[in-house]
Structure 1
Amino acid sequence: MNHRKRNWLIGIGLCTGVGIAVLFVAAHMLANRFEPYIRQQAVLYLQERFDSEVELAALRVSLPKVSPLKLLLRHGHDTVALVEAEDIAVRHNGRRDVPPMFLMKHFSFEVELGSLFDVPKKVRRVTLDGMEINIPPKGERPKLGPDEEQPKGLYGRPEEPGVIIEEVFVLNSVLTIIPKEKEKKPLRFDLHRVTLESAGTNVAMKYNAALTNAKPPGEILSEGAFGPWNADEPGDTSLAGEYDFDNADLGVFKGIAGILESTGQFEGTLSSIAVHGQATVPNFRLKQAGNVVPLSTRFEVLVDGTNGNTTLKPVTGTLGKTSFTTSGAVIKRETDVHRSVSLDVTMPQGNIRDLLRLSMKGESFMEGRISLKTKIDIPPLTGTVRQKLLLDGQFDISEARFLKSRIQDQIDTLSRRGQGQPTNKEIDQVLSGMAGIFHLENEMITFRSLSFAVPGAGVDLAGTYDLDGDAMDFHGTLSLQAKVSQTMTGWKRWVLKPVDPFFSKQGAGTLLHIQVVGTAKKPEFGRDRQKKKDEVPASLAKTSGDK
């Protein structure tokens, strides 16, 4: 080999060695730069996505055992890095007076190194563990989106997202909704497991979630689609899906108890969610009475997920054997301390036994049919529900029979006397009817009309009942088909014949002006002292009093 050729080979070898050395040095430097670059990109993504400040305590990048040269030559493709971070806080820009939007004890994600330089960047999987999500009261929630209009791409469409996350796993996390009233406890939702798929900025995320509801406490399983997130108007963010709500304890609410099970579907936006579903409470009861009456409903409601306002349109339900329909709204306005309730309830053909069993201790004292139509209003004022409750409606009870023999015997006696057959024992187990038009306000029920009827006799009253003071004051008439003398037996029947004309009025054999005063436990029946011209025979007054 001549001298020139040897020098040429030595030069090539030196150049090759230097080139390889440079490649190794460059690859090593590139590998060392992945960690700060990934850290920068992770923080930048969170800042831009939520227009927020991001604090990151620690971040580690774990690379597989691969030569730096191979990493460089393949541009990072087929090399997946595991990125782990701890103690992350995402805060509303410029807001240190409210809790962070998100707190995360630990998060990790997998990313192919080659995709770090792609547009958009793709992240295979993100796992969030021990996350806390804090939602301030409405009116105190900072704007989450940037002030300037989002940049547009070709044909005026939004630019492609900078990062596409293919899967997100949320574990052992908590969603807390902070109330406006400082004395109230926050609503806490335990998020056991939430899975999100394809979370690009302009792409809806598929989700699957398991969580514990705050109030009433119960377990929720739900799946569907959520997003894309609208940072400028969060309430316009779309969502759809279905849910199962199990083992919800209604006992946390005042006055009621039972375990609720519900299933349904929903769709819309966060500020207008249309929900269709059904719910059952096999052991529904009022705490004061304690009697179980099964409750089931089918409902269509419109929910504002940003403030909890709910419109019922309508709800159909069955309480025991009684069907009813409810429509209306439960709303809280910005200036209100409490929610207001406004409902219209219609019960076309109910079972009075179901209602009495639900509302009173012990067994029902009456059976029959009831139709009811009423408006229920609970204004957003302080005080108990009983103090605030407003009712305005009417009812009609038909085919009623008292189940306690003593009361039914008195009703049968009234019917016999009213028909002028006081000794006819075949008049037995007669059916009663009752109807009324009522208004409740300030714990005072005003009956514009209240009527009670059995074959041969009828009572028509008007008056008030004070719920707080347990005081009643009713005035009206007792009308009988029979004349006064015909209500008696023996010699009394003949003695009273001369006074029959004085009591036969307005087409009735006997018309008496009566009053019912006293308390619900000790009512006093008698003649209306404001109608002195009516003299009620003592025996007849006793009969009406027994009733």
Structure 2
Amino acid sequence: MEKNSQAVFPNHQHSRGKAWRWTLWSVLLAAAVLIGVLQILVARAGPILKGRVVETLKTRFDSKVELDRLQVSILQGLNVTGGGLRIYPPDDVMAAGAKAPLISVDAFEFHAGLLGLVFKPMHVGAVHVRGLAIHIPPRKMRQQGAAKPRHLGKVKIEVDEIVCDDSQLVIGTDKPDKDPKLFELKHIVLRDVGPNAPWPYDAVLTNAVPKGDIHAAGSFGPWNTESPGDSSVMGDYRFDHADLNTIKGIGGILHSTGHFEGQLDRIAVQGTADVPDFSLDTANHPMYLKTEFSAVVDGTSGDTYLQPVQARLGESDFTCSGAVVNVKGKGHIIDLDVDVPAARIQDFLQLSVKTEPAVMSGVITTKTKLHIRPGPESVTQKLSLKGGFVLKRIHFTNPEVEDKVDMLSLRAEGNPKDAKPGAPDVHSLMTGQFEMSGGKLNFSNLNYTLPGASVALAGVYSLDGQQFEFTGKVRTQAKLSQMVASKWKSLLLKPVDPFFHKDGAGAVIPVKISGTKSAPKFGLNLGGKKPDQASR
């Protein structure tokens, strides 16, 4: 029995060793076959995927597609990199003059499972894109493309998300005096990218002037293949820490939020903007500025139409409406109608004039045309204003000036004995027509009315505090001899009264005001010099 068992065991061990050898050879053979298959897959994956990418894009955009390079790695699933992608406008639009690709991509990358080579459509989680550029031809060129049936192929790749860095959107214009509108897209994520539904997006746009980043989130599309500029877009934006100092002549940090919707060619925007420390370089006095606005942005020209803007400067409310118009190669022209129903004059003076405190306080009502021409100069040098105003409840902050006004009123009423420093303040009214340019206010018709007198002036008022030059006439209720407290002086002036007693007034006296805003000088202008002559 023992001999038989000894004979059996060696055969059993031999069989087991033979099985292990067959198993090893099978594994090695399978590995060799797998390696061979992988080699074939690697060799064929590039052309297969390139064909699928091109076919999917042709189907989506119904136009010519070019792809310069595409590389495939299968070390960890299917890794695809490529670049030199160009998608062109329809042939009719190209024939109408469009030259640039509708969409171009410098480089892209995505990852998918190996089974994606077998099953269609291939599913891709995210595509990472660098150097995306979208060039939308001008509307007239797009309209050349006749509507025609689309020859749809099969979508062979489905994408959940497209992540783009350092991209740009350029909307062309057919207006010869306009530059194309350029939007710099620092970072944008497009989700659920499909042909028939809007794409949710999250984007960061780089704004050059004022400098800062705009964060926006919303939906885009669906993409209008025949007319991309008519593709819908909507969303909410936030523009924080925008540096207004990048605009020469003004300063402050802007914060703005709002909502927008429309088409790429024409977008309606509603929002608010706050600048806690808004300033002009003529004064450098920071003021709180807040606005609520409604605007339309024309993507074909870059023009913006304000309809209207509700604004508050300090404690003063006003509205403005108009346009910001793009001028080719120069910048922008700003034309606004400004309506100030009842505001504090000191708020506007503090913003624009160096004198501290503001030369006067009061309530101003004005309607003004504001124009800012393009150019490299400071905003305050390019700014011009034209309009009329009414200024009520005027009080001069300089006690000496206010005393002179109060004493003038008392003398003009024939009460010279009461005309002393510290006399009660009088209520006065000022109306006028003005133009401002080059940092100077020119008054052609300035009327100042106070009890017992009216003053008609014309002159120049500079915002830098260096020029204060007015001439005109003072009409008084009392005669000259009635405006002096001394009896002897009154007797001496009686013979002169007839020379100044004119047009129903007790006296008409030519005057001039010169010096600076903080220290004006009052005097007679017996020579009748005009402001431009008096300054020589």
TM-score tier, shorter chain, comes to 0.7 to 0.9
2:234 is matched with which residue?
A: 240
Q: 2: distance between equivalents of 1:448 and 1:512? A: 19
445 and 215 in structure 1: CA distance in 2 versus 1, 3 angstrom threshold: closer
Segment drifting more, 483-492 vs 169-178:
169-178
Give the TM-score normalised by structure 2: 0.75
Q: Does 1:352 align with 2:364?
A: no
SS of corresponding position for 2:287: coil
Q: Deviations for 1:372-427, whole angstroms, at most 9, x for unmatched residues?
A: 21112345689776676543211121112111222222222222222222231473
User: Which letter maps to 1:344?
Assistant: D
2:112 is matched with which residue?
A: 110
Q: Does 1:217 align with 2:211?
A: yes
Q: Deviations for 1:215-246, whole angstroms, at most 9, x for unmatched residues?
A: 32223221111112224323211111111111
Q: Does 1:40 align with 2:40?
A: no
Q: 1: distance between equivalents of 2:269 and 2:401? A: 47
2:473 is matched with which residue?
A: 477
Q: CA deviation at 1:91?
A: 6.5
Contact 1:92 1:100 in 2 (8 A): yes
1:526 is matched with which residue?
A: 524
Q: Does 1:55 align with 2:71?
A: no
SS of corresponding position for 2:401: helix
Q: Deviations for 1:58-94, whole angstroms, at most 9, x for unmatched residues?
A: 3215388xxxxxxxxxxxxxxxx63421344436589
Q: 2: distance between equivalents of 1:352 and 1:199? A: 55
339 and 508 in structure 1: CA distance in 2 versus 1, 3 angstrom threshold: same
Q: 1: distance between equivalents of 2:366 and 2:154? A: 57
Unaligned runs of 5+ in 1: 1-20, 65-80, 154-158, 532-544
Contact 1:274 1:300 in 2 (8 A): yes
Q: Deviations for 1:478-506, whole angstroms, at most 9, x for unmatched residues?
A: 11122211210112123323443443333
161 and 427 in structure 1: CA distance in 2 versus 1, 3 angstrom threshold: farther
Contact 1:386 1:443 in 2 (8 A): yes
Q: CA deviation at 1:256?
A: 0.7
- Choose from 213, 216, 220 the match for 1:226: 220
Q: 1: distance between equivalents of 2:293 and 2:310? A: 6
1:68 is matched with which residue?
A: none
Q: 1: distance between equivalents of 2:154 and 2:433? A: 63
Q: Deviations for 1:513-544, whole angstroms, at most 9, x for unmatched residues?
A: 4456799888784335359xxxxxxxxxxxxx
Q: 2: distance between equivalents of 1:99 and 1:238? A: 21
Alignment of 1:382-397 (within 5 A): 389-397=383-391
Alignment of 1:269-348 (within 5 A): 269-332=263-326, 337-348=330-341
Give the TM-score normalised by structure 1: 0.74
Instruction: Tell me the percent identity.
Output: 35
Alignment of 1:7-26 (within 5 A): none
Alignment of 1:348-427 (within 5 A): 348-361=341-354, 362-378=356-372, 389-424=383-418, 425=420, 427=423
- Choose from 452, 458, 477 the match for 1:456: 452
Q: 2: distance between equivalents of 1:382 and 1:256? A: 13
Q: Does 1:128 align with 2:128?
A: yes
Q: 1: distance between equivalents of 2:157 and 2:55? A: 14
2:163 is matched with which residue?
A: 170
SS of corresponding position for 1:284: strand
Query: With CA pairs under 8 Å and 6+ residues apart, which has the higher RCO, 1 or 2?
Result: 2
111 and 367 in structure 1: CA distance in 2 versus 1, 3 angstrom threshold: farther
Q: Deviations for 1:445-473, whole angstroms, at most 9, x for unmatched residues?
A: 653411122322221134677999x8887
Alignment of 1:137-286 (within 5 A): 147=145, 149-152=147-150, 162=155, 165-175=158-168, 189=184, 191-192=186-187, 194-286=188-280
SS of corresponding position for 2:405: helix
Q: 2: distance between equivalents of 1:298 and 1:492? A: 61
Unaligned runs of 5+ in 2: 1-29
1:538 is matched with which residue?
A: none
Segment drifting more, 383-392 vs 88-97:
88-97
481 and 116 in structure 1: CA distance in 2 versus 1, 3 angstrom threshold: farther
Q: CA deviation at 1:438?
A: 2.3
- Choose from 488, 506, 511 the match for 2:508: 511
261 and 85 in structure 1: CA distance in 2 versus 1, 3 angstrom threshold: same
Q: CA deviation at 1:320?
A: 0.5
Contact 1:309 1:330 in 2 (8 A): yes
Q: CA deviation at 1:149?
A: 4.0
Q: CA deviation at 1:317?
A: 0.5
Q: 1: distance between equivalents of 2:417 and 2:75? A: 104
Q: 2: distance between equivalents of 1:99 and 1:160? A: 21
Segment drifting more, 407-416 vs 51-60:
51-60
Across the aligned residues of Structure 1 and Structure 2, the Cα RMSD in angstroms comes to: 4.3
Q: CA deviation at 1:330?
A: 1.1
Segment drifting more, 302-311 vs 99-108:
99-108
Q: 2: distance between equivalents of 1:188 and 1:231? A: 20
Q: 2: distance between equivalents of 1:428 and 1:246? A: 49
Aligned residues: 480
Q: 2: distance between equivalents of 1:202 and 1:487? A: 87
57 and 30 in structure 1: CA distance in 2 versus 1, 3 angstrom threshold: closer
